[in-house]
């Protein structure tokens, strides 16, 4: 299922982008989708309501003559034609049989643009939208302010960010913001702008700007008006820039000067542990990866029906690369198909007919190779992507198989030993643990630098800087600079856009060499909480999808290692999962079920408040390096600001272990004052930019350690107050204010409050505390508990004491 129309489009674009590479490798139609299995009976195109697999497909043809040919064949072409570097792209509505028939005729039929699933989804979206439009009455809407903030970013440019939710959720609701230009100025003197309606999974979320607005003066208030009559004026607060103690004059930083592959970063943390044995050590993670290694392969043929490929049984570096295969045409007429193996050289003598012409088909050659004892000890053969292989094979000179791996010999081809660097003065489990991990996604090259820089700063400043010493003395820090070493080696040396690990879970019909950049498991979708296997959105079960969740939860050693670390060291209470790019700061929940956008349970009000207050500290630290502000609109629970990510690791750590987990996306968009636009930085920016990102987000990781240390040493109990917020003749509303992030447990029936009593909740997504409304005078009893476990007035919720808070909330004329 998709999370949004944009998500659907992005996935399709990604699928399309993967194809030209495969084409250059194989000069063959590269198929994005597996074909129906041979012999499977699929009804041909019928009515639109039956799920016959009819889909709108892309076809790439060399020139106009082929477009005309398709047209003459009666193919159901769309009114679309796009010139490409290598030909012309047209779109056609095809059943699976029609698509296969075109492929068999040599047409390059690619992935689906839309299919019956989209049709069903569109119908659901349509009826949802019509229901909510009906619900939106002509009455005045109510506007709920969520956030209004100004901030500076890079070169002191000022920006304004506003989020407001309308009670009218339909698409015809238009919100407009005006703002002043500082204290004492007219309310509209700063400017005016329309807001964008933010929807996800077909549901209205709130209105915002797509990117923050550049402003000349910091506004004091904004006024938002709706075309449905609603209006609200909101004070504007400053986002980030919290005063932060400058590092001491002996503090040292900046230890990375080039992008590093996983072998280099792992060597670096190992040498750090040797250099600082009193305050650090290496923890070997128990599950070795599959390794930067592959079977050796070769492919023969130019069109699908006459093409086959072979894969070595041994990995390339273990002898697979030494195998060769030749296809010879015998001089004699009427000779039989035969296979000869000499050492590692395989020769297939093709069959000929009475006239001496070759008659062997791809299928026959495949069967002969797989049926020969000596050949099948060396290799396995297959037809091209499930093709029946009825085309005749041509003779070919001896071709050496290759694993296609290009990393230098310094990169081991063996299973990789993943390592964590453990930093702390007392590493006995008595100190609060923090788990910093980077590069779950291979192509995110800046992220391991961030983890390495943080390790260097902690160890090299221990003897020089009192603040660093407090962190190392009071915490137990685990740093894994690369969670995906095999995939990252592949990204460095073979295919730079590799996101997943290197393990091929595809069946034989997608295991040909041209498919090799489409294999692997998305490690941040392989975890066991809110996974695709549990019905959550934002991952794939297709082995060639870039968000492939793997064959099952926690199938991959890299993911198992993360879980192992949190189980082995239960003192770990905080985690940071560092990715790139976009400049985000996020926390759980991280996934929802698309139907009804059913989220994993939101964290409670006290924890959410803790996340927000920690944001201010952590993101202000990021900002100190070069002024980068992470936007308010890119801060918050994952699905509120990005998209659903089924089976991600932060959810695993939070829901299974209670570990407070964040996600960074390093690489905030950079504002260009000349074009007045934000520009995305990408996965692998020039190192000068990548270096800056590593420096600023290492400062953010250090700030997370400061938050963890403050949490672990927090002995202060929270203080709370009851505040009446609204009164009418028949009812009174109240809420609680607390002097730090904490939960309030309360009773309305005069009983003693306990940890099982109702908890104060948030009024809604990105909103403040709920209002509790009563219609009769009530004795309210309550206490606050912070997330470090300190309880107001040292009240014992499970005891008998009466030292909780009490207030009488009066309704109407009882006053
Ligand atoms: Zn990522």
Strand partners, 93: 56
- Quote the pLDDT of residue 138: 56
> Is the pLDDT confidence value at 507 over 80?
yes
Quote the CA–CA distance of 709 and 467 in Å, as a whole number: 11
Q: How remote is the CA of residue 522 from the centroid of ligand 1, in Å?
A: 9
Q: How remote is the CA of residue 664 from the centroid of ligand 1, in Å?
A: 9
- Quote the pLDDT of residue 119: 65
Helix axes 687-712, 605-626, angle to 10 degrees: 140
Exposure string over 255-292, b if 16+ CB within 10 A, otherwise e? bbeebbbbbbbbebbeebbeebeebbebbebebebbbb
Residue 320 is classified by DSSP as G
- Quote the pLDDT of residue 84: 77
Sheet of 572-582, strands arranged across = 280-284, 419-423, 475-480, 432-438, 572-582, 660-668, 584-587, 635-637
Tens digits of residue pLDDT in 441-450: 999 999 999 9
Q: How remote is the CA of residue 587 from the centroid of ligand 1, in Å?
A: 14
List C-alpha distances in Å: 613 to 240, 607, 636, 696: 11, 10, 11, 19
Quote the CA–CA distance of 719 and 256 in Å, as a whole number: 45
Q: How remote is the CA of residue 593 from the centroid of ligand 1, in Å?
A: 21
For residue 78, report the phi and psi dihedrals to the nearest 5 degrees.
Answer: -80, 165
693: left (phi over 0), alpha (psi -120 to 50) or beta: alpha
pLDDT band at 249 (very low <50, low <70, confident <90, very high): confident
Of 246-250, 384-388, 777-781, the one with minimum mean pLDDT is: 246-250
Helix axes 687-712, 466-474, angle to 10 degrees: 60
Q: Which two tokens stand for residue 111?
A: 């992935």
Quick check: 756 and 746 in contact, CB under 8 A? no
Quote the CA–CA distance of 444 and 497 in Å, as a whole number: 9
What is the SS3 assignment for 419? strand
Q: How remote is the CA of residue 199 from the centroid of ligand 1, in Å?
A: 23
Map tokens 């990408």 to a residue: 682
Tens digits of residue pLDDT in 765-814: 888 899 999 999 999 999 999 999 999 999 999 999 999 999 999 998 64
Q: Which two tokens stand for residue 800?
A: 């008998």
- Quote the pLDDT of residue 132: 65
**Sign of the CA dihedral running 606, 608, 613, 617:** positive
Q: Which two tokens stand for residue 624?
A: 């100190």
Q: How remote is the CA of residue 439 from the centroid of ligand 1, in Å?
A: 7
Of 1-5, 428-432, 604-608, 710-714, the one with minimum mean pLDDT is: 1-5
DSSP codes of every residue in 475-509: EEEEEES-S-HHHHHHHHHT-TT--S-S-----GG
Q: How remote is the CA of residue 287 from the centroid of ligand 1, in Å?
A: 21
Quote the CA–CA distance of 685 and 682 in Å, as a whole number: 6
Quote the CA–CA distance of 782 and 803 in Å, as a whole number: 10
Q: How remote is the CA of residue 579 from the centroid of ligand 1, in Å?
A: 4
Q: How remote is the CA of residue 441 from the centroid of ligand 1, in Å?
A: 5
Class of residue 498 by CB neighbours under 10 A (exposed 0-12, middle 13-18, buried 19+): buried
DSSP codes of every residue in 226-245: ETTS-EEEEEPEEPS----P
For residue 154, report the phi and psi dihedrals to the nearest 5 degrees.
Answer: 40, 120
Q: How remote is the CA of residue 733 from the centroid of ligand 1, in Å?
A: 44
Tens digits of residue pLDDT in 533-556: 999 999 999 999 999 999 999 999
Percent of the chain at pLDDT exceeding 90? 73
* Cα three-residue angle 655-658-664, rounded to 5 degrees: 80
Average pLDDT over residues 32-46: 36
Q: How remote is the CA of residue 650 from the centroid of ligand 1, in Å?
A: 12
Average pLDDT over residues 81-93: 78
Q: How remote is the CA of residue 417 from the centroid of ligand 1, in Å?
A: 22
Q: How remote is the CA of residue 445 from the centroid of ligand 1, in Å?
A: 10
- Quote the pLDDT of residue 35: 40
Q: How remote is the CA of residue 462 from the centroid of ligand 1, in Å?
A: 31
pLDDT band at 29 (very low <50, low <70, confident <90, very high): very low
- Supply the mean pLDDT for the chain: 89
Map tokens 């071709």 to a residue: 399
Q: How remote is the CA of residue 60 from the centroid of ligand 1, in Å?
A: 31
Average pLDDT over residues 554-583: 97
Higher pLDDT, 254 or 639: 254
Average pLDDT over residues 271-287: 98
Q: How remote is the CA of residue 202 from the centroid of ligand 1, in Å?
A: 24
Exposure string over 539-558, b if 16+ CB within 10 A, otherwise e? bbebbbbbbbbbeebbebbb
Q: How remote is the CA of residue 404 from the centroid of ligand 1, in Å?
A: 25
Average pLDDT over residues 258-278: 98
Higher pLDDT, 85 or 181: 181
Peptide bond into 589 cis (omega under 30): yes
**Sign of the CA dihedral running 125, 126, 131, 132:** positive
Q: How remote is the CA of residue 263 from the centroid of ligand 1, in Å?
A: 20
Average pLDDT over residues 409-414: 96
Q: How remote is the CA of residue 578 from the centroid of ligand 1, in Å?
A: 8
List C-alpha distances in Å: 137 to 140, 167, 172, 608, 750: 8, 10, 11, 33, 41
Q: How remote is the CA of residue 663 from the centroid of ligand 1, in Å?
A: 9
> Is the pLDDT confidence value at 36 over 50?
no
Q: Which two tokens stand for residue 18?
A: 């993967």
| pTM reported for the whole predicted model | 0.82
Of 19-33, 171-185, 466-480, the one with minimum mean pLDDT is: 19-33
Q: How remote is the CA of residue 752 from the centroid of ligand 1, in Å?
A: 47
Of 113-117, 330-334, 653-657, the one with minimum mean pLDDT is: 113-117
Task: Name every residue whose Cβ is closer than 8 Å to that of residue 89 and which is 6 or more positions away in sequence.
Answer: 58, 59, 60, 80, 81, 82, 83
- Quote the pLDDT of residue 199: 84
Q: How remote is the CA of residue 88 from the centroid of ligand 1, in Å?
A: 33
> Is the pLDDT confidence value at 707 over 70?
yes
List C-alpha distances in Å: 578 to 164, 461, 480, 665, 741: 29, 23, 10, 6, 25
Tens digits of residue pLDDT in 176-206: 999 999 999 999 999 999 999 988 877 899 9
Residue 217 is classified by DSSP as S
Quote the CA–CA distance of 86 and 280 in Å, as a whole number: 55
Quote the CA–CA distance of 813 and 815 in Å, as a whole number: 5
Q: How remote is the CA of residue 289 from the centroid of ligand 1, in Å?
A: 19
Task: Name every residue whose Cβ is closer than 8 Å to that of residue 81 and which is 6 or more positions away in sequence.
Answer: 67, 88, 89, 90
Q: How remote is the CA of residue 377 from the centroid of ligand 1, in Å?
A: 40
Q: How remote is the CA of residue 444 from the centroid of ligand 1, in Å?
A: 6
pLDDT band at 130 (very low <50, low <70, confident <90, very high): low
Q: How remote is the CA of residue 582 from the centroid of ligand 1, in Å?
A: 10
pLDDT band at 10 (very low <50, low <70, confident <90, very high): very low
Quote the CA–CA distance of 281 and 424 in Å, as a whole number: 9
Q: How remote is the CA of residue 10 from the centroid of ligand 1, in Å?
A: 15
Of the candidates 791, 648, 766, 619, the residue with the CA atom closest to the CA atom of residue 707: 619
Of the candidates 110, 813, 692, the residue with the CA atom closest to the CA atom of residue 700: 692
Q: How remote is the CA of residue 448 from the centroid of ligand 1, in Å?
A: 12
> Is the pLDDT confidence value at 656 over 70?
yes
Q: How remote is the CA of residue 716 from the centroid of ligand 1, in Å?
A: 37
pLDDT band at 675 (very low <50, low <70, confident <90, very high): confident
Q: How remote is the CA of residue 642 from the centroid of ligand 1, in Å?
A: 12
Of 98-102, 137-141, 652-656, the one with minimum mean pLDDT is: 137-141
- Quote the pLDDT of residue 508: 80
Q: How remote is the CA of residue 609 from the centroid of ligand 1, in Å?
A: 26
Quick check: 579 and 440 in contact, CB under 8 A? yes
Q: How remote is the CA of residue 433 from the centroid of ligand 1, in Å?
A: 23
> Is the pLDDT confidence value at 674 over 90?
no
Higher pLDDT, 644 or 260: 260
Of 90-94, 130-134, 491-495, 684-688, the one with minimum mean pLDDT is: 130-134
Count of C-beta atoms within a 10 Å radius of residue 348: 25
> Is the pLDDT confidence value at 335 over 80?
yes
Percent of the chain at pLDDT exceeding 70? 90
**What's the gap between Cα 431 and its chain centre?**
31
Quote the CA–CA distance of 609 and 614 in Å, as a whole number: 8
Distance between start and end Cα atoms, the chain: 56
Average pLDDT over residues 125-145: 73
Quick check: 356 and 335 in contact, CB under 8 A? no
Map tokens 């950049």 to a residue: 517
Task: Name every residue whose Cβ is closer than 8 Å to that of residue 209 and which is 6 or more positions away in sequence.
Answer: 160, 161, 162, 193, 195, 196, 633
Q: How remote is the CA of residue 684 from the centroid of ligand 1, in Å?
A: 12
What is the SS3 assignment for 689? helix
Q: How remote is the CA of residue 15 from the centroid of ligand 1, in Å?
A: 18
Q: Max alpha carbon distance in the chain (Å)?
A: 113
How do beta strands 677-679 and 213-215 pair?
A: unpaired
pLDDT band at 171 (very low <50, low <70, confident <90, very high): confident
Quote the CA–CA distance of 619 and 614 in Å, as a whole number: 8
What is the SS3 assignment for 670? strand
> Is the pLDDT confidence value at 1 over 60?
no
């Amino acid at each position: 299922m998709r999370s949004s129309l944009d998500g659907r489009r992005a996935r399709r674009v990604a699928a399309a982008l993967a194809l030209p590479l495969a084409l250059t490798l194989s000069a063959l139609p590269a198929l994005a989708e597996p074909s129906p299995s041979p012999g499977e009976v699929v009804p041909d195109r019928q009515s639109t309501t039956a799920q016959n697999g009819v889909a709108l497909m892309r076809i790439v043809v060399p020139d106009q003559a082929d477009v005309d040919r398709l047209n003459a064949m009666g193919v159901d072409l769309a009114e679309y034609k796009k010139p490409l570097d290598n030909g012309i792209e047209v779109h056609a509505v095809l059943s699976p049989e029609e698509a296969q028939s075109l492929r068999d005729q040599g047409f390059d039929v690619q992935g689906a643009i839309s299919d019956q699933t989209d049709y069903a989804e569109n119908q659901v979206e349509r009826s949802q939208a019509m229901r909510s439009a009906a619900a939106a009455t002509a009455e005045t809407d109510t506007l709920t302010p969520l956030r209004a903030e100004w901030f500076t970013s890079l070169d002191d440019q000022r920006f304004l960010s506003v989020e407001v939710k309308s009670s009218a959720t339909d698409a015809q609701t238009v919100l407009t913001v005006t703002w002043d230009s500082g204290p004492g100025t007219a309310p509209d003197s700063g400017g005016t702008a329309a807001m964008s309606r933010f929807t996800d999974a077909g549901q209205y979320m709130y209105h915002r700007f797509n990117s923050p607005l550049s402003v000349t003066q910091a506004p004091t208030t904004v006024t938002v008006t709706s075309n449905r009559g609603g209006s609200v004026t909101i004070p504007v607060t400053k986002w980030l820039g919290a005063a932060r103690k400058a590092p001491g004059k002996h503090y040292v930083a900046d230890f990375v000067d080039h992008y590093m592959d996983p072998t280099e970063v792992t060597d670096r943390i190992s040498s750090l542990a040797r250099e600082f044995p009193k305050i650090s050590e290496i923890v070997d993670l128990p599950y070795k990866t599959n390794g930067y290694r592959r079977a050796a392969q070769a492919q023969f043929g130019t069109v699908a029906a006459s093409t086959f490929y072979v894969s070595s049984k041994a990995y390339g570096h273990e002898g697979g690369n030494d195998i060769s295969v030749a296809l010879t045409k015998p001089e004699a007429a009427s000779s039989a198909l035969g296979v000869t193996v000499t050492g590692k050289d395989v020769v297939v003598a093709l069959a000929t007919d009475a006239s001496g012409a070759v008659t062997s088909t791809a299928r026959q050659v495949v069967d002969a190779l797989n049926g020969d004892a000596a050949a099948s000890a060396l290799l396995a053969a297959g037809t091209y992507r499930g093709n029946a292989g009825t085309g005749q094979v041509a003779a070919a000179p001896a071709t050496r198989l290759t694993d296609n791996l290009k990393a230098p010999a310094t990169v081991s081809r063996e299973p990789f030993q993943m390592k964590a660097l453990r930093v702390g003065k007392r590493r006995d489990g008595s100190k609060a643990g923090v788990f910093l991990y980077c590069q779950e996604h291979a192509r995110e090259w800046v992220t391991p630098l961030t983890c390495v820089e943080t390790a260097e700063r902690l160890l090299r400043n221990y003897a020089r800087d009192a603040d660093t010493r407090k962190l190392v003395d009071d915490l137990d820090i685990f740093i894994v600079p690369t969670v995906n070493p095999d995939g990252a080696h592949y990204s460095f040396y073979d295919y730079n856009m590799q996101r997943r690990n290197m393990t091929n879970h595809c069946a034989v019909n997608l295991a040909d060499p041209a498919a090799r950049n489409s294999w692997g498991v998305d490690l941040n979708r392989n975890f066991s909480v809110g996974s695709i296997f549990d019905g959550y959105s934002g991952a794939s079960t297709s082995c060639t999808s870039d968000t492939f969740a793997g064959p099952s939860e926690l199938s991959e050693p890299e993911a198992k290692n993360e879980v192992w670390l949190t189980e082995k060291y239960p003192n770990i209470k905080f985690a940071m999962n560092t990715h790139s790019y976009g400049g985000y700061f996020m926390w759980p929940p991280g996934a929802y079920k698309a139907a009804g956008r059913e989220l994993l349970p939101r964290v409670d009000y006290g924890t959410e408040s803790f996340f927000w207050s920690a944001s201010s500290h952590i993101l202000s630290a990021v900002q100190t390096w070069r002024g980068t502000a992470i936007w308010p609109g890119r801060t918050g629970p994952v699905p509120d600001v990005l998209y659903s990510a089924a089976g991600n690791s932060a959810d695993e750590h939070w829901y299974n272990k209670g570990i407070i987990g964040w996600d960074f996306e390093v690489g905030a968009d950079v504002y260009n004052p000349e074009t007045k636009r934000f520009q995305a930085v990408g996965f692998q920016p020039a190192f000068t930019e990548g270096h800056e990102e590593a420096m600023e987000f290492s400062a953010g990781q250090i700030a997370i350690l400061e938050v963890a240390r403050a949490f672990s040493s927090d002995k202060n109990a929270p203080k709370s107050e009851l505040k009446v917020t609204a009164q009418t003749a028949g009812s009174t509303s109240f809420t609680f204010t607390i002097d730090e992030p904490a939960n309030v447990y309360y009773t309305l029936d005069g009983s003693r409050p306990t940890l099982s009593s109702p908890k104060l909740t948030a009024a809604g997504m990105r909103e403040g505390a709920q209002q509790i409304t009563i219609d009769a005078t009530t004795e309210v009893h309550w206490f606050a508990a912070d997330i470090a476990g300190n309880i107001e007035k040292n009240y014992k919720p499970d005891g008998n004491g009466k030292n909780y808070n009490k207030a009488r909330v009066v309704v109407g004329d009882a006053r």
